Structure 1
Amino acid sequence: MPSAVTQDTVMLRTIGLAAFASMAAMRVCDPMLVTLSQEFAVTTGDASAVVAAFAVAYGVLQLFYGPLGDRIGKLRVIAAAASGCAVFSAITALAPSLTLLVLARAAMGAAAAGIIPLSMAWIGDQVPYAQRQEALARLMGATVSGMMFGQWFGGFAAQNWGWRSAFAALALLFALAAAGLLRQLRGGQGAAVPAPGSAAGTGAATATEAAAPPASALSYVQKTLALLRVPRVRWVLTVTAIEGACAFGTLAFVPSRLIDGFGLSASAAGAVMVLYGVGGLCYSLFARRWLAALGERGLALTGGTLLAAGLLALAWSPWIAGAVAGCFASGLGFYMLHNTLQTQATQMTPEARGTAVTLFACLLFLGQSCGVLVMAASVDRGLLAPMFTLAALGVGVLGVLVSRKLHAWS
């Protein structure tokens, strides 16, 4: 019989694979936008609908997955979501028109919405707050690696094998993750979770979510409204939406900036974008040391500053080396700031952590979709650099505000 530690390790690795594939799916279209605009004879801004559709569906469906995960089991929902992603990714690979491609991407985003936020909530159930930032950073390692893979592979596949091959590969990854999760669940792993008010956050499981009665729509609305009446919840969600618009909204257009501004191929632009993920991966690897040295306040302030500097370099640098450095600085800064907000999200309302964390993700990706729509209108008018500058100012101010607010809460 495998030990509990071994079983937990296998489960975390399997969740990590699902999170890897989810983030790869989210970012795989970024380096494809120019290719898609050429294939379907539309502008780059119009082609960016494939990014916005995924983000909108991903954000809105958090409102469904959060309470569902709280009621029937977070790991069960993650397994079902990964299975749905495998199906919809295969459908995306076969889309014959931009309209159907956008619809398929929306369905894919709707399914993927049940993976990373509920994985965060599951860690929140199992890990005490003092160690939670480090544990979330490990999950972030999988998501960042997935983003790196998606940003690179999207461009590589579009240039060498055709963009459809990227979605076929993602379908396989999701299928492997779903099979692993279902196998663990059939073996009885992950079914039990801490009951509200019990030893939550210590790994002690005393009740099963499956035993809870079905949640009504009215009870969910009442719970959500109760959460939104908490000032700390409103503040975190508002800041998160702005972060999503300024940081994630611009991210989708960095490859377009590299292609149009420096003449890079889709494959080369995707390779440069990997450095954004490398910056995030560096954060995840050294999170404990940086947290000890800077504290949460310092991480937020440093992260906002680095992200702003990176976006300004991407906007105005006349040299490719400056844009490359900007990609790395943006990634490192974003994850310093974002993981600090993410940790706050897991602590907003511990008694309804699944709902709270998925509200956090909902606002993040609704903010991203708004950012993408604004950037899409700007890129077709030649205003990409000014919009990157506004986003840089926004995230710089956010870093200061988050740092001050954490000081007030400490």
Structure 2
Amino acid sequence: MAEAAQPRPAPGSLKALILVLGACGFASTFTMRVLDPLVPTLANEFTRSIPQVATIATTFSFAYAVGQPFLGPVADSFGKLRTISTCLLLLATLSAAAAFAWSFDALTIMRTAAGIVAGGVIPAAMAAIGDRAPMAERQVQLGRFLVLMIVGQMAGAACSGLIAAHIGWRGVFLVAGALAAIAGVLVMIVLKPRPDAQRPKLSFSGALARYATVFANPQTKVLYGLVIIEGALVFGMPPYVAAILHERAGVGPSQAGIVIAGTGLGGIVYGILTRVLVERLGPARMTTAGGALMALAYCLFALPMLPWWSAIAIFTLSGFGFFLMHGTFQALATELAPSARGSAVALFACALFCGHALGPLLMGTALHLFGTSGAILSFAVAVGLLGLLVPRALRLGGSRT
């Protein structure tokens, strides 16, 4: 579907947009990833099994996904920036409440609610960038946004274990809440809504009409289906990393957090090199190479004799491969329905986090059936095949953009 002509924004305004929205993405992904290194700690705290605690990651992701069909029309109708700031302030409140959770069930409820409001940040930010950046520049600008967002993912994973080791796991959620509050205030102070934005009135029939516009594009179902698979294969492993490393080498949550943060480091490398990668490789080669690199990384992580610290480099490689594939998916998602971009990107996020929620369940089942190395290798084969399938399924060809 062709995009309406967009005036080129002033470089300074676009830079401010990326920096502030990057801070929002930082706060959101910091909150999202803080739990992964804490899984063994929370299992001891609440006398639960590792798989039971890992399900909190599933409930957060499922709530994130379920909220998207509602948050997309809200962002289109009330404005993306207003949606982002409101969701961040709610996220700050719920994160602070999680710090005072008195039971496992209470913590699960707080994280589930946090997942819903966290879903109103990154998809709306991507749609806002899509509104302002011309398509020729969009994947590059999204890559820069990803750099800041991924630093939050790294910090959430790496700092979570360190904070927990010094002031306890409750302090982790207080820090996450403070970051979300600061980002929400930044949006309100620095960024201004577009004066010429067309915002349809929020209604059930209007929301259905916008979703009908999104699915009128024949690429929509294919892209969303591939993103569900991608989310499951990429995000099924992190909740089990701390337990796997503890079983192999007796390492604690701080070391596990550093390993998981390697995914974010790979994303930063991708963000820095986005323009070169897009120009030299193009979307087809990027997705295929991304799947191959993730498969290689998983195969290496399946080797139990490697020292625990080697997993930092392994997850950095995996993260780079993931964003090679996912960066192309994101750029395509912003172009599915330009007149209903908030709804289109929200459904894209819904698909990703449906996979995100499904992944830990699949990994838990694979661990039970095949053991640790067998489960990781099964994910390696699947993600490698996904990389080969994507260019054909999306008809990307060999073109460079």
- State if a TM-score over 0.5 links the two structures: yes
Q: CA deviation at 1:224?
A: 2.1
Helix, strand or coil at the partner of 1:253: helix
| Cα distance change, pair 9–325 in 1 and its aligned pair in 2 (3 A) | closer
**What runs of 5+ residues in structure 1 fail to find an aligned partner?**
193-204
User: Which aligned pairs between 1:112-191 and structure 2 lie closer than 5 A?
Assistant: 112-184=118-190, 189-191=191-193
| Cα distance change, pair 339–86 in 1 and its aligned pair in 2 (3 A) | same
Which of the residues 332, 340, 346 maps onto 2:328?
Answer: 340
| Cα distance change, pair 164–35 in 1 and its aligned pair in 2 (3 A) | same
| Cα distance change, pair 150–380 in 1 and its aligned pair in 2 (3 A) | farther
Q: Which moved more, 1:337-346 or 1:220-229?
A: 220-229
Residue 301 of structure 1: aligned partner? 288
Residue 18 of structure 1: aligned partner? 24
Cα deviations by residue, 1:290-321 (Å, 9 ceiling, x for unpaired): 22221111111111100111112112241125
Q: CA deviation at 1:134?
A: 0.5
Q: CA deviation at 1:377?
A: 4.3
| Aligned residue type for 1:114 | G
Does the 8 Å contact 1:305/1:333 carry over to 2?
yes
| Cα distance change, pair 122–409 in 1 and its aligned pair in 2 (3 A) | farther
Residue 206 of structure 1: aligned partner? 196
| Cα distance change, pair 85–398 in 1 and its aligned pair in 2 (3 A) | same
User: Which aligned pairs between 1:361-400 and structure 2 lie closer than 5 A?
Assistant: 361-379=349-367, 383-400=371-388
Q: Where do 4+ consecutive residues of structure 1 move more than 6 Å?
A: none
Give me the whole-angstrom Cα distance separating, in 2, the residues matched to 1:296 and 1:378. 31
User: Which aligned pairs between 1:1-400 and structure 2 lie closer than 5 A?
Assistant: 5-184=11-190, 189-192=191-194, 206-209=196-199, 212-213=200-201, 215-320=202-307, 322-379=310-367, 383-400=371-388
| Cα distance change, pair 155–381 in 1 and its aligned pair in 2 (3 A) | farther
Does the 8 Å contact 2:150/2:264 carry over to 1?
yes
Residue 396 of structure 2: aligned partner? 407
Give me the whole-angstrom Cα distance separating, in 1, the residues matched to 2:241 and 2:44. 18
Q: CA deviation at 1:221?
A: 2.6
Give me the whole-angstrom Cα distance separating, in 1, the residues matched to 2:397 and 2:367. 39
Q: CA deviation at 1:379?
A: 4.6
Q: CA deviation at 1:237?
A: 0.2
Give me the whole-angstrom Cα distance separating, in 2, the residues matched to 1:407 and 1:176. 40
TM-score where L is the length of structure 1? 0.90
Percent of aligned pairs with the same amino acid:
33
Q: CA deviation at 1:324?
A: 3.2
Give me the whole-angstrom Cα distance separating, in 2, the residues matched to 1:342 and 1:208. 23
Give me the whole-angstrom Cα distance separating, in 1, the residues matched to 2:367 and 2:111. 21
Helix, strand or coil at the partner of 2:237: helix
Q: CA deviation at 1:409?
A: 9.3
Does the 8 Å contact 1:317/1:323 carry over to 2?
no
| Cα distance change, pair 380–387 in 1 and its aligned pair in 2 (3 A) | closer
Does the 8 Å contact 1:83/1:178 carry over to 2?
yes
TM-score where L is the length of structure 2? 0.92
Q: CA deviation at 1:112?
A: 0.7
Cα deviations by residue, 1:251-287 (Å, 9 ceiling, x for unpaired): 3322322222222111111112222211111011111
| Cα distance change, pair 81–256 in 1 and its aligned pair in 2 (3 A) | same
Give me the whole-angstrom Cα distance separating, in 1, the residues matched to 2:338 and 2:115. 26
| Aligned residue type for 2:260 | M
Q: How many residues align?
A: 389
